[in-house]
Structure 1
Amino acid sequence: MTGLSGVGKTSVLQRLENEGYHVVDTDNHGYTKKVTTGEGEEIVWDEEKISHLIERKRHTHLILSGCYSNQGKFYKSFDYVVLLEAALDVMLDRVNQRETNPYGKSPKERKEIIESFTHVLPKLRAGADVVIDTSKVGISDATDCLKSLMILSHQVRI
């Protein structure tokens, strides 16, 4: 599951985890690292750690969440790539109101979110198998959609 800041990834993950699903928010569990690029420093998935995580959970349902420039390298390892998206004003309002994550409160970070909406979101859409607009459907519906995909992927493997 991927998406920009403020689309509801953390809320969906929390619901799924509360229901007993194995979830990993790669933002918060040491699955990223800082690298130097031609444009400065960037945080990306630690590819070795992500590979090990996927391999360890190959025979169970794993919901992996994050939004990093190198995540596309792993798309072939997933049954589905699900993009959560929302209208820009909804995202900015959510980021402003949330208390669990400070990201997006400063003018610089808000500018990053707006730039990502313009430049990153189209790339995420292009790589997604399923797109859920959380400004049109609630977190419960988004969670139910993910659970349906897990059931479908299980049926396809049988």
Structure 2
Amino acid sequence: MKRVLVTGMSGVGKSSLLEELAARGYATVDTDYGDFHEVVDGEPLWRRDRIEAVLGEGFGGGTGVLFVQGTVRNQSSYYSWFDHVVLLSAPVEVLVERLSTRTTNTYGKDPAELAETLEYVRTVEPLLRRSATLEVVTTVSVAEVADIVLEHVS
């Protein structure tokens, strides 16, 4: 079974991509929801027991591919578990628009959260880019993003 990490800043479309992939029959895990995090020094990090359980249990269904979504500081300690690391990105103006208008998640509507996200674009996204096996700029439809990702991982 292939394991694919989908990562990127808030507002790039990670959850939307997972919804699209799930609709196409792929197994997905969105670590933004559920008990995947523990807070250490005020920062949410992946819980080793939960992440290793997901990655080790053979999720993937009939497709043979598991897509896991998340962006946390300790994700790099799990990169060896993944066959691919897919970075989703978008221009800053697109992120600002998406965060201010999205209805599925309130994160980013607060000016401090938006500022935090924009700082992460500057400081964290370059680190993610270095580890990614694929980067997709999500200014195209989610269906097109899914097609690009699936072509890469197949």
When normalised by structure 1's length, the TM-score is: 0.88
**What 5-or-longer segments of structure 2 have no aligned partner?**
1-5
Of 96, 99, 103, 2:100 maps to: 96
Instruction: Give yes or no for the alignment of 1:24 onto 2:29.
Output: yes
RMSD, matched Cα: 1.3
Of 128, 143, 146, 2:146 maps to: 143
Larger radius of gyration: 1
Q: Which amino acid aligns with 1:8?
A: G
1:50-76 deviation per Cα after TM superposition (whole angstroms, max 9, x unaligned) = 011101026731100000000011111
1:128-148 deviation per Cα after TM superposition (whole angstroms, max 9, x unaligned) = 11000112x321111012222
Aligned to 2:50: 49
Aligned to 2:15: 10
Aligned to 1:63: 67
Q: Which amino acid aligns with 2:141?
A: G
Alpha-carbon distance in 2 for matches of 1:33, 1:143? 30
CA deviation after TM superposition for structure 1 residue 77, in Å? 1.1
Alpha-carbon distance in 2 for matches of 1:66, 1:139? 17
Alpha-carbon distance in 1 for matches of 2:149, 2:65? 11
Moved >4 Å (runs of 4+): none
Q: Which amino acid aligns with 1:28?
A: Y
Of 13, 31, 35, 2:40 maps to: 35
Alpha-carbon distance in 2 for matches of 1:29, 1:149? 28
Q: Which amino acid aligns with 1:67?
A: T
Alpha-carbon distance in 2 for matches of 1:58, 1:19? 15
Of 128, 133, 141, 1:129 maps to: 133
Instruction: Give yes or no for the alignment of 1:78 onto 2:79.
Output: no
Q: Which amino acid aligns with 1:66?
A: G
CA deviation after TM superposition for structure 1 residue 124, in Å? 0.7
Q: Which amino acid aligns with 1:47?
A: R
1:1-32 deviation per Cα after TM superposition (whole angstroms, max 9, x unaligned) = 00000101111110111111110010012211
Aligned to 1:154: none
Alpha-carbon distance in 2 for matches of 1:149, 1:57? 21
